[in-house]
């Protein structure tokens, strides 16, 4: 037994053609000195330092040799056997990805300062010996690898399916082809599916876009109100006031702060149905659908203040200072969200802001749905402030006009009622908001904060213009406006209801007549109905609504129509972004959908 053990410890794997035990190879000579190389002019190899079987060795020396570290020249079989013996003694095996990551971080830490390198080594030591972190790292690596392989397999199947569909459509026999004529189908040029058109894009750096958006949005809204006054309404002259109190007023700041506080409290009320948004890694974000209740409560509070003779109509004179205060609040909130986003978890971050410069991250937002104090959904709060502020502001402007003249203006009433109906419709179907592109993928940054905070003042410009210019649209003109508005509202609401019903139950018998395209993600795309007419019929309905309500201002000046023009440009840009996102998400299925529905919003135009 000792002899076998001795031989296993001293045996070295010999190369091909060498006799085991002697180390000799054919055609080569060796020097007489055992461990020395051959002299110059003599062929041979140095003798191996391992002992032969003939050399005696005591049992104590064998045991000492077994305890010493293994030589570097040991074979692969001996390495595996030593690892097996180590694992049998109770040693834990290490995960190779964890070791690779730790080694790469250790090499990166070698270039740091000594104090920082010392801290990094301590952290790596704790991580390296933490079994829970190792297991989590290994499971996450397996999950990512499997999801990547499955996604690639689905994408390849989708592309194969699309190519087969194109081949099948190309093999269809054209109309009017006679059966008795032996015409080769290969010789006939069949119409191919329309491929997506290449768009002309201007490569503007992101930091320029962010700088323009951060600095130009509030002045643009303010200049529109300065250009349209009681004396004139033109872009050639701006009636700029030199009184600083007209722009910065403490009373306006208090009014805005009180309104924001009321909307925050109303958003936290445990009244209304809870709707879950899209599932994420951290769970499902729940939405409380009580926006319509908050609108009625806000209107009731303002009505009560007016009943007790509070000067609520002062907002007409404080319009400029309210705009400035809203912009300042938007900037402050953007800074807080930017700081909070730097400490947020990875699943809650905005993918569009990753890897970008800090200015662009500040503009577009680091997070998608940030929460303040763990309860207040910032995006939902901004939405309530914007829409409820629009209703309250328009109502107070109409109350101010009626109190001054004691007469009813049907044009003004039509404008205010149409705007209020849009807000009521949104809050009535508020449960569909969590599944929209804005709720799921739009980052909450400076752009969104300024847009929501300043949005009430854009439609209010049309209301103020009707009051100041004393616009009176004839009855037949108002009838045409209402007809135009009803058409847009029908397209907007019907398309959204069809999409919501299909998302809830794709197997709904009422939707069985609609054609669909299957995607690699297990979802389906509607290619008939409203979503086969254009790709974004809800945007088309919204554009018609904006232009219809702006038509109540008459046709004497062009400034009121800048509002629907701006909203149209925003929706066109959003449609382009949604298409780009869907192309990356659905790939071949989206290309097939675009070939069947070539226009985005306006049929045969865009």
- pLDDT at position 145 is 55
CA distance 51 to 417: 102
Q: What is the pLDDT of residue 228?
A: 83
What's the average model confidence in pLDDT over 435-457? 91
pTM of the model: 0.66
pLDDT for 90: 42
Domain boundaries, the chain: 95-161, 209-472, 479-606
Q: Which is more confidently placed, 283 or 544?
A: 544
Is residue 155 predicted with pLDDT exceeding 70?
Answer: no
Q: 181 pLDDT exceeds 80?
A: no
**pLDDT tier at 585 (50, 70, 90 boundaries)?**
confident
Nearest by Cα to 605 from 568, 580, 561: 568
Q: Which among 18-27, 379-388, 463-472 has the top mean pLDDT? A: 379-388
- Of the two residues 63 and 134, the one the predictor is more confident about is 134
Most trustworthy range by pLDDT among 170-184, 201-215, 384-398, 430-444: 384-398
Q: What does the pLDDT read at residue 425?
A: 93
Tokens for 531?
Answer: 């979503």
pLDDT at 548: 93
Roughly what angle, to the nearest 10 degrees, separates helices 457-469 and 319-341?
170
Q: What is the pLDDT of residues 518-539, one digit of tens each?
A: 888 888 888 988 999 999 999 9
Q: Nearest-CA neighbor of 460 among 560, 542, 326, 314?
A: 560
User: In this structure, are residues 467 and 412 in contact, taking their beta carbons and an 8 Å threshold?
Assistant: yes
- How much is the average pLDDT of 541-556? 92
Please give, one letter per residue, the 3-state secondary structure of 482-499.
HHHHHHHHHHHHHHHHHH
Query: In this model, does residue 23 exceed pLDDT 50?
Result: no
pLDDT average, residue stretch 212-221? 91
The DSSP bridge pattern shows strands 524-526 and 516-518 to be: antiparallel
What digits encode the pLDDT tens for the residues 286-336? Answer: 888 889 999 999 999 999 999 998 989 889 888 999 999 999 999 999 999
pLDDT for 84 beyond 80:
no
Instruction: Please give the share of the chain, as a percent, with pLDDT higher than 90.
Output: 34
Which tokens hold the place of 144?
């990512």
| Cβ–Cβ under 8 Å, residues 544 and 484 | yes
Residues 6+ apart with CB under 8 A from 25: 15, 17, 18, 19, 45
* pLDDT value at residue 363: 93
Question: pLDDT higher for 509 or 7?
Answer: 509
Residue 467 · residue 402 · CB < 8 Å: no
């Amino acid at each position: 037994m000792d002899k076998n053990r001795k031989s296993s410890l001293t045996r070295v794997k010999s190369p091909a053609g060498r006799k085991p035990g002697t180390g000799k190879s054919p055609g080569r000579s060796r020097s007489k000195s055992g461990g020395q190389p051959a002299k110059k002019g003599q062929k041979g190899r140095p003798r191996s330092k391992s002992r032969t079987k003939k050399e005696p060795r005591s049992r104590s020396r064998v045991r000492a040799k077994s305890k010493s570290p293994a030589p570097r020249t040991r074979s692969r079989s001996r390495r595996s056997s030593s690892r097996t013996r180590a694992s049998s003694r109770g040693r834990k095996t290490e995960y190779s990805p964890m070791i690779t990551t730790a080694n790469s971080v250790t090499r990166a830490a070698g270039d740091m300062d000594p104090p920082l390198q010392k801290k990094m080594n301590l952290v790596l030591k704790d991580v390296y010996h933490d079994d829970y972190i190792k297991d989590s790292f290994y499971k996450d690596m397996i999950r990512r690898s499997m999801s990547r392989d499955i996604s690639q397999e689905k994408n390849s199947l989708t592309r194969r399916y699309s190519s087969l569909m194109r081949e099948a459509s190309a093999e269809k026999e054209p109309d009017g082809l006679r059966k008795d004529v032996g015409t080769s189908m290969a010789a006939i040029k069949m119409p191919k599916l329309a491929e997506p058109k290449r768009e002309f894009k201007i490569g503007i750096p992101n930091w320029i876009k962010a700088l323009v958006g951060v600095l130009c949005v509030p002045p643009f809204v303010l200049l529109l109100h300065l250009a349209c006054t009681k004396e004139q309404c033109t872009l050639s002259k701006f009636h700029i006031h030199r009184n600083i109190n007209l722009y910065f007023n403490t009373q306006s700041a208090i009014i805005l702060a009180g309104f924001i506080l009321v909307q925050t409290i109303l958003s936290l009320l445990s009244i209304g149905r809870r709707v879950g948004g899209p599932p994420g890694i951290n769970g499902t974000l729940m939405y409380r659908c009580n926006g319509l209740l908050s609108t009625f409560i806000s209107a009731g509070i303002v009505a009560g203040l007016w009943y007790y003779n509070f000067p609520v109509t002062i907002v007409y004179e404080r319009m400029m200072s309210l705009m400035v205060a809203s912009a300042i609040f938007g900037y402050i909130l953007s800074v807080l969200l930017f700081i909070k986003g730097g400490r947020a978890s990875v699943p809650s971050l905005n993918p569009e802001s990753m890897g970008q410069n800090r200015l662009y991250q500040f503009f577009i937002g680091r997070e998608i749905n940030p929460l303040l104090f763990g309860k207040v959904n910032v995006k939902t709060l901004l939405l309530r402030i914007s829409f409820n502020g629009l209703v309250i502001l328009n109502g107070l402007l109409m109350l101010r006009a009626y109190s001054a003249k004691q007469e009813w203006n049907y044009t003004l009433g039509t404008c205010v009622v149409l705007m209020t109906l849009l807000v009521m419709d949104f809050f009535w179907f508020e449960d569909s908001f969590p599944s929209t592109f804005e709720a799921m993928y739009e980052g909450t940054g400076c752009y969104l904060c300024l847009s929501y905070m300043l949005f009430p003042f854009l439609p209010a410009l049309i209301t103020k213009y009707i009051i100041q210019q004393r616009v009176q649209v004839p009855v037949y003109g108002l009838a045409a406006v209402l007809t135009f508005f009803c058409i847009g509202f029908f397209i907007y609401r019907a398309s959204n209801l069809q999409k919501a019903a299909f998302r809830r139950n794709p197997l709904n018998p009422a939707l069985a007549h609609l054609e669909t395209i299957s995607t690699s993600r297990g979802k389906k795309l509607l290619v008939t109905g409203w979503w086969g007419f254009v790709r974004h019929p809800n945007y088309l309905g919204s554009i018609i609504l904006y232009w219809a309500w702006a038509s109540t201002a008459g046709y004497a000046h062009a400034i009121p129509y800048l509002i629907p023009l701006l909203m149209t440009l925003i929706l066109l840009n959003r449609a382009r972004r949604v298409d780009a996102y869907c192309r990356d998400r659905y790939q071949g299925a989206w290309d097939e959908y675009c070939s069947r529905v070539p226009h985005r919003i306006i049929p045969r135009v865009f």
